[in-house]
Amino acid sequence: MEHIRDKSKPKEVYKETMMLLVGEGHSKFVSYDKIKTHNTNHEMIIAQLNSGITNFTGLTGRTVTIEEFIISYNADDILIDDYLGRHYMYQDELEPITWDLLDSVKNISGKRCHLASTSYQGRKWFAWYNSEIAIPAGPWLLRGLPGLIMEAYDQNKEVKFSFQGMEIGNAINEVLQKRKGYQFIEIDNFWEPIKISKDEFQKRKSLALSDLKAYRIQYDNPLVQSHGGGYDYGVGHPNSWTKQISNPISLKK
């Protein structure tokens, strides 16, 4: 993923490796860099614990995309795992996408792909999909084409998703082997996410972004922690969740 997060600084392009898990009925989109950061910090903490250290030190690392999406192919249903110092999960319904299928064709990593366009979430999108892989999934919230989306970008090239590689589902992946919740398309219960309504989550997120101290007093406290949603050392950089992105991927109000 390449993303110009601040339009006043067009030369500063945020880059992150993402992962799209695709199955028969659902897809899951998540930051691969976040999983790797989690693994590194987890191993550091275990090593400190085994050495008798109780004041753990982890890597702050880089900013990462915190949201995880599980999307249904047969309905516009989505489960979102988000993070505000604690993991929250809520269900939402996505607006459908109407695509225009275009005549252009190009090869991406040896796969013959066709072009489609749509207006969605405040941006004009172009997507290259491969009909040989007849799965209607894609990066972020992009979906619904007669084949897997292998590349997508908005009209202004402020956001771009580029294909990097593909593995079959039962491939041995050393990164995912260390974090079982990402070997299948399922809710990752490692952190026991706090199940919440979308409205309540948005209320808490608004407070966290406007007054982080007040949010922590009201919601990020031992009582909330006792209901799950543990601290995630895969999201080691506070800017991953405490800072508003001025040019988010979704421009829908």
Q: How many domains does the chain have?
A: 1
224 lies in a domain? yes
Q: pLDDT digit string (tens) for 203-212?
A: 999 999 999 9
Contacts 24+ apart (CB under 8 A), 241-244: 241/66, 241/83, 241/84, 241/85, 241/208, 242/208, 242/209, 242/212, 243/209, 244/209
Q: What tens digit of pLDDT does each residue of 81-98 get?
A: 999 988 999 999 999 999
Query: Is the pLDDT confidence value at 138 over 80?
Result: yes
Asked whether residue 37 is assigned to any structural domain, the reply reads yes
Give residue 55's domain range. Answer: 2-98+165-242
Domain contains 128? no
Q: Is residue 140 in a domain?
A: no
Dist CA 166 CA 149 (whole Å): 12
- 121 in a structural domain: no
* Domain assignment present for 189: yes
Question: What average pLDDT does range 196-202 have in this prediction?
Answer: 96
14, part of any domain: yes
Q: What is the pLDDT of residue 79?
A: 97
**Would the pTM of this model clear 0.85, i.e. be above it?**
yes
Distance CA 141, CA 93 (A): 11
* HSE (side-chain half, CA atoms, 13 Å) at 13: 9
Is there a domain that residue 138 lies in?
no
Beta strands at 87-93 and 194-195: parallel, antiparallel or unpaired: parallel
The 3-state DSSP class for residue 21 equals strand
Sheet holding 148-154, edge to edge: 14-15, 2-3, 159-162, 148-154, 123-130, 111-120, 100-108
Confidence of residue 226 (pLDDT cuts 50, 70, 90): low
Distance CA 178, CA 38 (A): 9
